[in-house]
Structure 1
């Protein structure tokens, strides 16, 4: 059985359990997970339509040859001058009336509404509760791809850390990482460099601030490699670093360890967030931890499960997610330590081999 057939079978089993008659996926990560491919998303309605006993690709006629070659599925085509309604009505003839339809939450609204207009009376739900739930558990090939991508990011991060010195701008420091990603054939996603007081902004936009003696510097980087992303954050200090840095770095590291220790199959995701947050709160910095503890990662950099204080998602072996507590002191600096982990029966496997300890650059202006 091919991977696509295996995943279609898993989707149909979930459909039967949830009483769903149709799953409609647009060009994006859900479709890619099923087919290992998705067409370029544009305004022309394109749907992978999965029923209990069939699967069809609804596609504009101008893209039919490509869709047939990549999907291997029967096509329901439509022409620009006719619009997609005829193809949707043909789908309904095959599938019949359904009581519930699952729609890709990431696809265009003008794809969703025509589906609901044809399948009148069907109760809609989003695909994150069905396809998304299946995607949270990674297979061996996905885990291997994520490990490889993490190793690429390690090398890029190390190059950036080694290049740090006073006098560089944030953009110049980030460019070292971008160049290293490019040399390895990775598709660059983001290269955040936040220096000095800019580190207090968790999602700082890398700019032209010049790195100075005793700055703390945050790198948060990621790129796609082999179809799967990376995401990691590391810290550096120039010279002695800002006053109080070592204490806060230690608190964040202890928060990371507490979260990792709490991550076990069968526990709710909020337990992991609670563990990290408690360490930081007990140290007196609770108000400065301003985001969730982690997010899932697979085909997308951010996907379920989300490790928030309110998440009741039960963690399962084979899930992949970040652990990234942080403390952000306005006007001074910020510290975030982020690693992607695989959840195993006995705990977490860290993908990066690069230590979370602070990188020290003693080069002066």
Structure 2
């Protein structure tokens, strides 16, 4: 187990003390990877990392133990297919030193049968999810995570710029997406998603890139992200192929003002819903409130979508080290969609944008 994971385990135990938690149970997930560096194969065989205030160890199918040992010094409680996991789980729980009727935190992404296996072994346990323990820690990025996210964002700048540079009359959305993915691959990153939208396809916030061909007079929306050294990127930029229309430039200006408003509102101690409101008010006042159909942003770390979420109802209080997207948009069916997205990390004096690529319309 690395020094970084030792620090995270110590921080988790501190949060457990502060929240009255006796046991944290994590399945094969980004939570487990964050806490231990172990990213085991996930199937129907129960796998769990159990952390108490005095012990931490893995319930693990025997056939996966040797591989997982390469990434951690924590003990394993292996079980074989012929025997099943019950006895190994009991041994792990005994080593955990739990009180009667413990207060248990469950990984919300864990398979239901894994969770029930654990809860059935702990009669009388109370349970909740990870929001105030592992989730609390993950929402506040450390310096190592900041550097990884920044490097991934800068690579994404190059990839999306390459997509815009490839625009030519008759090219398909899929062909542009291939150009973008190739940039990730050549840099040793993994493409995660590539949404290329020509013309009216941009009015679908989650358009599936297809065979639509580019023609003069089309707006072009590119929303893409890759994963570099385990950490993702996510950014949206919009351009125009040919002479941009007055309507396009007007909408671009409104959305840019909405981004600026959300950036200005982003401060430690502010509720996430206030960031959403700042962006939404700009668009509503311009007369396009009904054309902004989604939340203003989502957190990002190991996962592309993770807390905090910037919605109209989110009471989450923003804190230093939080990383999230700001991505207001206006969608005009049959014409185009215009969304501008940046990932920011929140500092004491406000947000820092991870991307270096301007949000100005890319004109080709």
TM-score interval, smaller chain: over 0.9
Secondary structure (helix, strand or coil) at the match of 1:83 reads coil
1:54: which partner in 2?
Answer: 55
1:69 aligns with 2:70: yes
> Do 1:220 and 1:231's aligned partners in 2 also have CA atoms closer than 8 Å?
yes
1:252: which partner in 2?
Answer: 255
Q: State the Cα distance separating 1:263 from its structure 2 match.
A: 0.2
1:283-338 Cα offsets, whole Å, 9 max, x none, are 00000000011111110100000001100101011111110000001111100000
Query: What is the RMSD of the two structures over their aligned residues, measured on CA atoms?
Result: 1.1
Secondary structure (helix, strand or coil) at the match of 1:128 reads coil
Counterpart Cα distance in 2 of 1:344 and 1:192:
30
1:145: which partner in 2?
Answer: 148
Q: State the Cα distance separating 1:178 from its structure 2 match.
A: 1.0
1:301 aligns with 2:288: no
1:350: which partner in 2?
Answer: 353
1:155-205 Cα offsets, whole Å, 9 max, x none, are 111111111122011111111111111111110000100111110000100
Q: State the Cα distance separating 1:243 from its structure 2 match.
A: 5.0
> Do 1:57 and 1:67's aligned partners in 2 also have CA atoms closer than 8 Å?
no
Which residue of 110, 115, 120 maps to 2:113?
110
- TM-score with structure 1 length normalisation? 0.97
Give 4+ residue runs of structure 1 displaced > 4 Å after superposition: none
Counterpart Cα distance in 2 of 1:67 and 1:217:
44
Equivalent positions of 1:84-233 (< 5 A) are 84-94=85-95, 95-96=97-98, 97-233=100-236
Q: How many residues align?
A: 361
1:312 aligns with 2:315: yes
1:336: which partner in 2?
Answer: 339
Gaps of 5+ in 1: none
Q: State the Cα distance separating 1:260 from its structure 2 match.
A: 0.2
1:19: which partner in 2?
Answer: 20
1:5: which partner in 2?
Answer: 6
> Do 2:19 and 2:132's aligned partners in 1 also have CA atoms closer than 8 Å?
no
Worse overlay, 292-301 or 240-249: 240-249
Secondary structure (helix, strand or coil) at the match of 1:71 reads coil
Which residue of 271, 274, 285 maps to 1:271?
274
> Do 1:188 and 1:222's aligned partners in 2 also have CA atoms closer than 8 Å?
yes
Counterpart Cα distance in 1 of 2:107 and 2:278:
33
1:223-277 Cα offsets, whole Å, 9 max, x none, are 0001100000001101123451000000000000000000000100011000000
2:242: which partner in 1?
Answer: 239
1:42-62 Cα offsets, whole Å, 9 max, x none, are 111111110110001111111
Gaps of 5+ in 2: none
> Do 1:196 and 1:217's aligned partners in 2 also have CA atoms closer than 8 Å?
yes
Counterpart Cα distance in 1 of 2:285 and 2:19:
43
> Do 1:21 and 1:98's aligned partners in 2 also have CA atoms closer than 8 Å?
no
Counterpart Cα distance in 2 of 1:296 and 1:218:
22
> Do 2:172 and 2:214's aligned partners in 1 also have CA atoms closer than 8 Å?
yes
Counterpart Cα distance in 2 of 1:352 and 1:266:
24
1:210-235 Cα offsets, whole Å, 9 max, x none, are 11111001000000001100000001
Secondary structure (helix, strand or coil) at the match of 2:70 reads helix
Q: State the Cα distance separating 1:12 from its structure 2 match.
A: 1.0
1:29: which partner in 2?
Answer: 30
> Do 1:234 and 1:356's aligned partners in 2 also have CA atoms closer than 8 Å?
yes
Worse overlay, 86-95 or 282-291: 86-95
Counterpart Cα distance in 2 of 1:90 and 1:36:
23
